[in-house]
Structure 1
Amino acid sequence: MTLSTEQSGHQTTAIKSIPQEAFDWYDEYAHGDIDRRTFLSRLGTLSVAGLTLSVVAGALTPNYALAEQVSFNDPDITASYVEYDSPNGHGKARGYLVVPKGVDVNNKAAAVLVAHENRGLNPYIEDVARRLAKEGFIAFAPDALFPLGGYPGNDDEGRAMQKTLDGAKIEGDFMDAATLLKNHEFTTGKVGMVGFCFGGYLTNSLAANMPDTIHAAAPYYGTPAKSNLDQIKAPLQLHFAELDKRVNATWPDYEEALKANNVDYTAYIYQTANHGFHNDSTARYQEKNAELAWERTLGFFKQTLNA
């Protein structure tokens, strides 16, 4: 299968005025390749008509007041924080569990594991979990930062915290979360997974390393698993951003491996989109592309997990 291209969503005039270099530098900053001082210094070299440095920097950094699409008080869902044992990770872990109204031991539902970016369980990812629950799935979003006290309420601090943790143990926490969902008394035993950025990598990795647990996987701009690609059984729906050079460079070899192992996959690339285009809390968000990708993801899970 080949990548198909979609048109970008509408952007405001101000956001359109931000040069692509600024988005590229933010991606470097967000992934730890440059520090905040270097990021701001580079932004200061840009000539952006009508926009100050503070406006550009503010547009590129998250504003989580914009990210809530489903309220935690929505009557159709019940949300709570749940601690669980994680012998393959940090011993103890915690996540955000969202259950649709009416789901119980007598009326079970499929589950979706939600994997966050490289900065912990922020409000955007919690909202993604609520969106899934509104569609009838039990959603669970672990917080990799729980061993350090949890997401600190600030992405810069969260990113620095997550960088200090053992990546293998983070992965173990998510693997044990997948097992929890598979065995949960409210679930059908069918488990899907969606993740963004670092969470996209985790989604690819769990599909490869837990082939009997993950029944469908939808990574957004995630790099491939480091091993066991030949073990993938789940169908994959992969989402890429056209301008995301770092992640897209890994796709040709990944696609070749998927083809060689007869994996059922569909991949999409979204035109003029940047890494993080689904995240509605920053200027990288593209509404039309994000909604199309999410519509596809929901349809994918309904087809694969509810069959």
Structure 2
Amino acid sequence: MNAPQALTQLEIDQRVFDLYDEYCHGRIDRRTFLARAAAVTAGGLAMAHALLPNYAAAQTISFTDSRIKARYVDYPSPGGNSGQMRGYLVQPAGAGPFPAVLVIHENRGLNPYIEDVARRLAVEGFLALAPDGLSPLGGYPGNDDDGRAMQAKLDQPKLRTDMLNGARFLKAHPLSSGRLGVTGFCWGGGTTNWLATELGADMQAGVPYYGAAAETASVPKIAAPLLVHYAEKDERINAMRPAFEAALKQAGVPHEMHVYPGTQHGFHNDSTPRYDEAAAKLSWERTLAFFRKRLI
């Protein structure tokens, strides 16, 4: 007997995508998400279940790939949620030093998709560190629902400090060339923008994916060129774009902004039907080219 075919993005009602965005950002719980999806359209419950992540689909680079060496590392994080942090460090084969990229997770901790992104960067010649913001609570729990709830319980300014300390740890790492890039997704995209304001000249490139804009008053502190990726169907994040773009121009910060037609928030994440293969591939090619230009 053949397994049922997974629903594609085009088969899912936009109203269910909108509910999923509310669910992903903690504004409704899983039960409410499923109930509202079932009520909004025929087949809505099946659409909702199709949007839940399948992390087996997100692995593109095996953790045993001979081109890389991956391991978990612990490092101090003064001023953070516990004073200690854990992250996933992936280096290319070879002695180094390597240009370094910090990879910042979404609002649910260091899940398998983000670990795979770190491996993708290492295969391309970058030393990548993906911190787990949930490590003060024991680390990513193995599922996104619990991870999201755990991250929401953390002191949020201290959580950002934990990411700042991860950037500093990576930049100073013996395998690092000292040139630092940062990328992140969703919450991590907003944190990428924030880190650009905090690190100033210590950050050489930033690539936020569909993340909240930096505070306008802090934009003049940004020294790193930015490559900013937006999803077209992402009203909440896109509403912040005009003021952010104007502030970057006024401050003279080099930047590129790309909007990917027809895409949903989370289009780079290949574990759910929000994934858009063409947009994910194009944005990633742009990201790698940007980091090669700015970090190597």
Q: Same fold (TM over 0.5)?
A: yes
Partner of 1:186: 175
Pick the aligned partner of 1:79 from 70, 75, 81. Answer: 70
The alpha carbon displacement at 1:40 in A equals 1.2
- Please say if residues 88 and 175 of structure 1, whose CA atoms lie closer than 8 Å, have aligned partners that are also in contact: no
Provide the C-alpha distance between the structure 1 equivalents of 2:7 and 2:237, rounded to a whole number of angstroms: 27
- 1:295 is matched by which residue type in structure 2? E
Cα distance between partner residues in 2 of 1:160 and 1:13: 27
- How far the C-alpha of 1:57 sits from its partner, in A, is 2.1
Query: Structure 1 stretch 13-22 or stretch 203-212: which is displaced more?
Result: 13-22
Is the 2:110–2:132 Cα contact (8 Å) retained in structure 1? Answer: yes
Partner of 1:6: none
How far apart, CA to CA, are the structure 2 residues paired with 1:183 and 1:203? 18
Which residue number in structure 2 is paired with residue 221 of structure 1? 210
Which of 186, 192, 201 lines up with 1:197 in the alignment? 186
Give the aligned length: 289
The equivalent of 2:12 in structure 1 is: 18
Change (3 A) 1:43 1:190: same
CA-atom RMSD in angstroms: 1.2
Alpha-carbon distance between aligned partners in 2 of 1:41 and 1:86, rounded to the nearest angstrom: 41
Q: Which residue of 1 aligns with 2:56?
A: 65
**Separation of aligned partners in 1, 2:238 and 2:206:** 18
Contact kept, 8 Å, 1:145 with 1:161, in 2: the verdict is yes
Amino acid at match of 2:157: A
Q: Residues 185-264 of structure 1 correspond to what in structure 2 (within 5 A)?
A: 185-226=174-215, 228-264=218-254
**Alpha-carbon deviation of 1:88?**
2.9
Q: What is the match of residue 105 of structure 2?
A: 116
Q: CA deviation at 1:52?
A: 6.3
- 2:239 partner letter: A
Does structure 1 residue 56 correspond to structure 2 residue 50? no
SS at match of 1:210: helix
**Identity across aligned pairs (percent)?**
54
Matches within 5 A, 1:282-301: 282-301=272-291
Q: Is this contact kept in 2: 1:242–1:269, CA < 8 A?
A: yes
Q: Which of structures 1 and 2 has the larger relative contact order (alpha carbons within 8 angstroms, sep 6+)?
A: 1
Matched residue, 1:5: none
Q: CA deviation at 1:70?
A: 0.3
Which residue matches 1:94? 86
Q: Secondary structure at the match of 2:271?
A: coil
Task: For residue 204 of structure 2, give the secondary structure of its aligned residue in structure 1.
Answer: strand
Could you tell me the TM-score, scaled by structure 1's length? 0.92
Per the alignment, in what secondary structure is the counterpart of residue 150 of structure 2? helix
Q: 1: distance between equivalents of 2:220 and 2:9?
A: 42
Alpha-carbon displacement from aligned partner over 1:64-114 (angstroms, at most 9, x marks no partner): 010000000000000000000001313000000000000x3xx31100000
- CA distance in 2 between counterparts of 1:87 and 1:208 reads 19
Residue 56 of structure 1 and its aligned partner are, at CA, apart by: 1.4
